[in-house]
Amino acid sequence: MIRSTIDGRSIRRTKAICLLSGGLDSALAAKLMLDQGIQVDGVHFIIPFGRLDKQGSDLPVHRVADCLGIEIEIIRLGAEYLEIVRSPRHGYGSNVNPCIDCKILMLKMAGELMRTRGADFIVTGEVVGQRPMSQRLDSMRRIEKKSGLEGYLVRPLSAHLLPPTKPEIEGLVRREDLLGIRGRSRKDLMSLAKEKGIAGYSSPAGGCLLTDPRYAQRVSDLLRHDMLSLHDIDLLSVGRHFRLPHGSKLVVGRNERDNDSLSRLADESDNVLTTPEVPGPTAIQRGPGMSEDEGLAGRIVARYSDAGASDKVKIHIAGPGGEDSVEVDPLDPGEAGELMI
């Protein structure tokens, strides 16, 4: 609650913290609160499993916050997030997405902001039945309880399907102006957003990269090899990935952009492989068994170069042991495919 005075009279302005994703639902939820005269501060969480090109300062959520005229705080999640991906208490969704634990973590952190900033409650854009794991009625109740926000979590888009929250009971929020939307259809939400002049929101992407089957396979591989670290995650959305027999991992660029990213992401403990005599990819080899797997890594890199299938290919290797060159035969595509993650 914000207190200020006009003509010596004390007035109280209700304040909420809204989790903004940059998408339509949370923008609309915030707008419904603003329309009731409630002050809204936005908070946006960035999880470590994002695309490298989507981590800059020009995020959709900045455009949404500008459109709503509200402040936004960006919070990057790190080690604490890896822990819930390693062993989510409430399990995974269809891939390696720990949606329930993820929401609990974000809401706990939002709850901290609520307390430190003297806000009255938390707002989210959740819609009952919109997502299979975290937006079922029972999951939504569990998330509210486990995040320690019982009674203080307002979900304006589906409020009429949920019990009244404390701010509604106490009259800080007019329940009759909230909605009762259920399900996956976005038609009503989009026409309401248009009516309310909300623009700049991102299109629904169906969740984060952890819900993407191909990406999830790469995360599962890191989990199996006990290599899930912030350092290794950066590589996940770049190039083709291979797990080699002695335990090392090889990431091979698919195009110039991947090659540039791999050159940038390599560190002093990695081998960096290139083909100096023919156009070809840049690759990073990392992890245990690097020297035993080096020849095979070179053959995979040669397979993706412009050399013919029967040509010898010179591979340059720069790594912790210094620089070296080897001549290899490109690996058969079928054999390379079997090692692909």
**Binding positions for ligand SF4, rule: CB under 6 A:** 47, 97-99, 102-103, 134, 207-208, 210-211
- Write out the E strands in the chain: 2-6, 9-13, 15-19, 39-46, 72-76, 121-123, 153-154, 240-243, 249-252, 271-274, 283-286, 313-319, 322-328
Angle at 222 between CA 217 and CA 225, to 5 degrees: 125
Task: Tell me how far, at minimum, the Cβ of 125 lies from ligand SF4, in Å.
Answer: 12
Comparison of 26 and 282: residue with beta carbon closer to ligand SF4: 26
Q: Which two tokens stand for residue 318?
A: 């720069």
Comparison of 102 and 228: residue with beta carbon closer to ligand SF4: 102
Task: Tell me how far, at minimum, the Cβ of 100 lies from ligand SF4, in Å.
Answer: 8
Task: Tell me how far, at minimum, the Cβ of 110 lies from ligand SF4, in Å.
Answer: 13
Residue 217, judged by CB atoms within 10 A of its CB (0-12, 13-18, 19+), counts as middle
Comparison of 47 and 315: residue with beta carbon closer to ligand SF4: 47
In the DSSP assignment, the letter for residue 128 is: B
Task: Tell me how far, at minimum, the Cβ of 60 lies from ligand SF4, in Å.
Answer: 14
Comparison of 78 and 308: residue with beta carbon closer to ligand SF4: 78
Comparison of 151 and 207: residue with beta carbon closer to ligand SF4: 207
Task: Tell me how far, at minimum, the Cβ of 182 lies from ligand SF4, in Å.
Answer: 19
Alpha helices in 147-186 (DSSP H): 166-169
Comparison of 16 and 210: residue with beta carbon closer to ligand SF4: 210
In the DSSP assignment, the letter for residue 330 is: P
Task: Tell me how far, at minimum, the Cβ of 150 lies from ligand SF4, in Å.
Answer: 20
CA–CA gap between residue 252 and residue 257 (Å, rounded) = 12
Task: Tell me how far, at minimum, the Cβ of 96 lies from ligand SF4, in Å.
Answer: 9
Comparison of 55 and 191: residue with beta carbon closer to ligand SF4: 55
**Residues facing 2 on adjacent strands:** 13
Residue 230 has a CB neighbour count (10 Å cut-off) of 11
State the amino acid at position 55 in one-letter form: Q
How would you label 303-325 residue by residue, b for 16+ Cβ within 10 Å and e otherwise? bbbebeeeeebbbbbebeeeeee
End-to-end alpha carbon distance in the chain: 52
CA–CA gap between residue 166 and residue 121 (Å, rounded) = 9
Task: Tell me how far, at minimum, the Cβ of 299 lies from ligand SF4, in Å.
Answer: 37
Comparison of 103 and 241: residue with beta carbon closer to ligand SF4: 103
CA–CA gap between residue 29 and residue 173 (Å, rounded) = 12
Assign 13 to helix, strand or coil. Answer: strand
Task: Tell me how far, at minimum, the Cβ of 45 lies from ligand SF4, in Å.
Answer: 8
Comparison of 164 and 207: residue with beta carbon closer to ligand SF4: 207
Residue 71 has a CB neighbour count (10 Å cut-off) of 11
Which of 305, 106, 292, 294 shows the shortest CA–CA distance to 284? 294
State the amino acid at position 323 in one-letter form: E
